[in-house]
Amino acid sequence: MDTIAISLNGTPVSGRPGMTILELAREVGIHIPTLCDDQFLKPVGACRICLVEEEKSGRLLASCVTPIAAGMTINTRSRAVIENRKIIVKLMLASHPESCLLCEKGNRCRLRKLAGDLGIGRLDYYPVPNFTGTQELNPFIMRDLSKCILCGKCIRADHELVVVGALDYLNRGFDSSPATLFDGPLETSECTFCGTCVSMCPTGALFERGKPHAGTIGARTATICSYCGCGCNIFLETVENRLISVSPNPANDINGKTLCVRGHYGHDYVHHPDRLRRPLIRKDGVLCEVGWDEALDFAAEGLKNAYSRYGSGAVSFLGSSKCSNEENYLFQKIARTIFGTNNIDTLGRLHSGTSLESIPFDAMTNSLQDIEDSDVILVIGSNPPTSHPVAGYRIKRAHLKGAKIIVVDPRRTGLAGFSAVWVPIRPGTDEILLNGILKGLLDSKSLDEKVKAEIAEELPEVIDSLAGFVPQLVEEFTGCSQPLLEAVVRLISEARSPAFVYGHGITRQINGTQAIRAIENLALLKAGPGESCGGIYPLDKESNTQGAWDMGTLPNLLPGYLPLDDPDAIRFFENAWKTSIPTKPGLSAAEAIRRARAGEVKAMYIMGENPLRSFLDPSEAEKGLSTLDFLVVQDLFLTETAQFAHVVFPACSFAEKDGTFTNIEGRVQRIRKAIEPVGQSLPDYEILCRIARRMGYPADYRSAGEIMDEISYLTPLYRDISYGKLEKGGIFRPCSRSISDGEKRLPVRRRAAKITPAEQGHLRVSHKRPEDGDFILLKGSTLYHFLGGTRSTRSARLLEMEQEGLLEMNPMDAGALGLRDGDMIKLHNDKNQVVTRIKLSESLPRGILFSPLFDRLTTFLAPLGVRATGTDVCRVRIEKEICNGPHEPPGEN
Ligand code: SF4
């Protein structure tokens, strides 16, 4: 490659064409101070602090925006440079309030540091007061624009990184400031309170509201966000064993300097007063605080009794998408070795389990970063900006780079505003649409003729299976007009590397597996997965759903997805665990709860899950759990589920323990202990070890790291992973980038090998049009509450923004029923009825309602037909009940 030679402070150096002086200086270890520059933002040369002198011409140049040119003679610390830097900083200080002693930014203020570095002891300029006062009512971010130095980082972060557009410059010259539209408060703007602007701000102009400690931080611990499966890297900032704030840890390629509102401001649940501090056991029907020994003895006795009286099939285990890999590994090991049962599952199966049967390991085929370089992105059944916001930023950034976005969703989600095509399909008909697109693609002229011939010759059954998915049928069932379908087919067929993103809108459907197979077929037809961009991106998981599955917290698979009917795998684990293990597949979470209700499952051990909030049919879960002889729950809070337990163990949060999470990409990352356990709580793995020892099984791990060593030894997927290696950063498991073809792991380019015939089960009840008066109820995550909200509803700040789960309704539907925004209505289906408040939303088409998943009331309106994975669409009817009373608890019809 060509290089460009220049002189830097008298030393000859060379750089690559296109490099700026600042980049080259950094590369060779020369420090140039900056204020407006950031590695994640495009340089703009706004602050001029980085100026350097070109000695031949005597010109002063902003080094962040000036490319190197052959023969340049650059001096980064000449007299002229230093004097001009001082003048610039003094001008900034002249309009800056002298409130450093009280400023929240404290010692981290870059302006103050720069003034100190330059030796500006006295300000000999006339001060220009610029008092604006602090603003905002929102619970997260405060603005004191009198401290703003107009570096524009907040605006650029908003435009370039999170692509929201809430901020821009207002006015010109001295009156210029970053502001929202019409200078309104942040809370009435498009702002999503991700806090990226706060992380970027070099002064105290933007700062976090409501921190329990305003002074210097005691320690920063690098760990992983505990909410969604993106697995963002964060620092937990602590003082005296208290979590004070969270900031992005930019040394990663998942989130860089961005986070979302949950990750940035929603971890205050760690110190919620409701945290369990001591173990509880039920005495005379009441849960009473006891010591650890008494609780552990009681739990071990109760579990042993159920096992010895009713056998291994009568005990069931529910692991957790929120607990670490080490904890899930240990949990399934206890179930299989001590209780001889494969009755082990997580609730992740109910929300994402349909894809377990499709993409191997259900991880993404590519890294999150690759979405950004895809040229066409189909987003179906997913609303990434609210469910997995950091993935949403990537999709929007791809749009900025010219990618065409196709959004398939009954709701006009925020992402639809960025789309080239929005397909508002009828709920539950995604599979038909996807197969229609597949057929369109196979029929299209722009698809590679060689690929078509290959499929026609090798896989005629695929062609046959798609024969029925003609545009007329697709339109009839899905509501996607033929021109719209043609537009989607055209975009995908012309794409170089299309990305396919799906989420709970697909994975929670009863026919989710078929829809995902159609997505795989589409991706394989375009040969995208595994390449440097494009691919398949399931956005359907919590912080460690992927890891819990990898660890074998599944009723039919051992750690590393080894099947129970593989005698070699069984022998291998039996040798390692020194005991026999059952080979008969166990009960899924849904089946276990159903069997509990039927009196067949007598005891259950639930670690870190709350089925009474997160189960697809919580009333069914309540009936099941209330009939158990014995229920053990370990959790952070006395959850709705824990209230039914006979023993409740107080467990540590992610901030109080070591371990690993595996994110949606399949990247294994360290979580680290930042504070001591709250009360007498213990890490889940420690509780499990104590229980196992009471059951006579040696579980003498001295640390979570020792459990990982065992995992790494026994699980091919995690081979060679150790805490030592993870210190250097997250590790991708090698298999997450390929698609399996049964026996062999195939290079993904062998496309025809995996394309499977479409299933013809599209004429299902779920695809019926709603009858008059019927509504279809959609449920999903919101920006402030992820899934059931067990933790986010204990974040005071998140709750302040979204306290109540409001039922969204199309204004025309509301008008037809004589309803107004905020009215209470009675909603019922064949199972339950609830009274709830409505919010009018133009984003919904007529006949469709939307309720947040964290709303405990509407979760009681489960559809009929909850299966091991997924449900049918939920049909409800509305009874007008205009009143202003509080929410009423659900009642059976
Ligand atoms: Fe946490 Fe997910 Fe938000 Fe990242 S995108 S900060 S992982 S909730």
Percent over 70 (pLDDT), the chain: 91
* Ligand 1 closest atom vs CA 261: 3
Residues 540 and 588: their CA atoms lie apart, in Å, by 19
pLDDT confidence of residue 528: 47
Q: Residue whose CA is closest, atom 4 of ligand 1?
A: 232
Q: How far is the CA of 533 from the centre of ligand 1 (A)?
A: 22
pLDDT confidence of residue 364: 85
How big is the chain, counted in residues?
893
User: Which of 181-190, 306-315, 789-798 has the largest mean confidence?
Assistant: 306-315
Higher pLDDT, 767 or 249: 249
pLDDT confidence of residue 617: 78
pTM: 0.92
Task: Reply yes or no on whether the pLDDT at 888 is more than 80.
Answer: no
The pLDDT tens digits for 360-374 are 556 788 889 999 999
User: Which of 89-98, 668-677, 692-701 has the largest mean confidence?
Assistant: 668-677
User: Which of 169-183, 202-216, 300-314 has the largest mean confidence?
Assistant: 300-314
Percent over 90 (pLDDT), the chain: 68
Residues 36 and 26: their CA atoms lie apart, in Å, by 16
**Could you tell me the sign of the dihedral formed by the alpha carbons of 515, 516, 520, 523, in that order?**
positive
Residues 235 and 42: their CA atoms lie apart, in Å, by 24
The pLDDT tens digits for 444-461 are 888 778 878 877 887 788
Q: Which helix (H) or strand (E) holds 418?
A: none
Banded model confidence at residue 737, pLDDT cuts 50, 70, 90: very low
pLDDT confidence of residue 521: 86
* Ligand 1 closest atom vs CA 259: 6
Residues 194 and 368: their CA atoms lie apart, in Å, by 18
- Ramachandran region, residue 787 (left: φ > 0; alpha: ψ -120 to 50; beta: rest): left
Q: How far is the CA of 701 from the centre of ligand 1 (A)?
A: 31
pLDDT confidence of residue 750: 31
pLDDT confidence of residue 870: 60
Query: What lines the ligand 1 site, CB under 6 Å?
Result: 225, 227-228, 230-232, 255, 259-260, 262-263, 388-390
Contacts 24+ apart (CB under 8 A), 840-844: 840/808, 840/809, 840/810, 840/811, 840/814, 841/808, 841/809, 841/810, 841/811, 842/412, 842/810, 842/811, 843/411, 843/412, 843/413, 843/808, 844/410, 844/411, 844/412, 844/808, 844/809, 844/810
Q: What is the 3-state secondary structure (H, E, C) of 61-112?
A: EECCCCECCCCCEEECCCHHHHHHHHHHHHHHHHCCCCCCCCCCCHHHCHHH
Higher pLDDT, 241 or 529: 241
The pLDDT tens digits for 721-730 are 999 999 888 7
Q: How far is the CA of 802 from the centre of ligand 1 (A)?
A: 17
Q: Residue whose CA is closest, atom 3 of ligand 1?
A: 260
Residues 368 and 390: their CA atoms lie apart, in Å, by 9
Task: Reply yes or no on whether the pLDDT at 597 is more than 50.
Answer: yes
Q: How far is the CA of 177 from the centre of ligand 1 (A)?
A: 29
The pLDDT tens digits for 780-822 are 889 999 888 889 999 999 999 998 889 999 999 999 999 999 9
Q: Which helix (H) or strand (E) holds 506?
A: helix 504-507
CA angle 145, 148, 154 (to 5 degrees): 95
Q: Residue whose CA is closest, atom 1 of ligand 1?
A: 263
The pLDDT tens digits for 25-60 are 999 999 999 999 999 999 999 999 999 999 999 999
Tokens (6 digits) for 837: 């408040």
Q: How far is the CA of 230 from the centre of ligand 1 (A)?
A: 6
Tokens (6 digits) for 524: 């394989």
